[in-house]
Amino acid sequence: MRIGYGEDTHRFGPGRKLILGGVEVDFFLGLIGHSDADALVHSIIDALLGAAALGDIGQHFPDSDMQYKDISSILLLEKTNELLREKGYRLINCDSTIIAQKPKLAPYILDMRANIAKALNIDIDSVSVKATTPEKTNAEGRLECITVRSVALIDRI
Instruction: Kindly report, residue by residue over 17-39, the tens digit of the pLDDT.
Output: 999 999 999 999 999 999 999 99
Residues 54 and 83: beta-carbon distance below 8 Å: yes
Q: How confident is the model at residue 79 (pLDDT cuts 50, 70, 90)?
A: very high
Banded model confidence at residue 55, pLDDT cuts 50, 70, 90: very high
The domain total for the chain is 1
CATH number at residue 106: 3.30.1330.50
DSSP state of 105: -
Q: How confident is the model at residue 101 (pLDDT cuts 50, 70, 90)?
A: very high
Amino acid 137 reads T
Q: Which domain holds residue 6?
A: 2-156
Tell me the pLDDT tens digit for each residue of 115-136: 999 999 999 999 999 999 999 9
Find out whether 146 and 9 touch, Cβ atoms under 8 Å.
yes
CA dist 127 and 119 (Å) reads 11
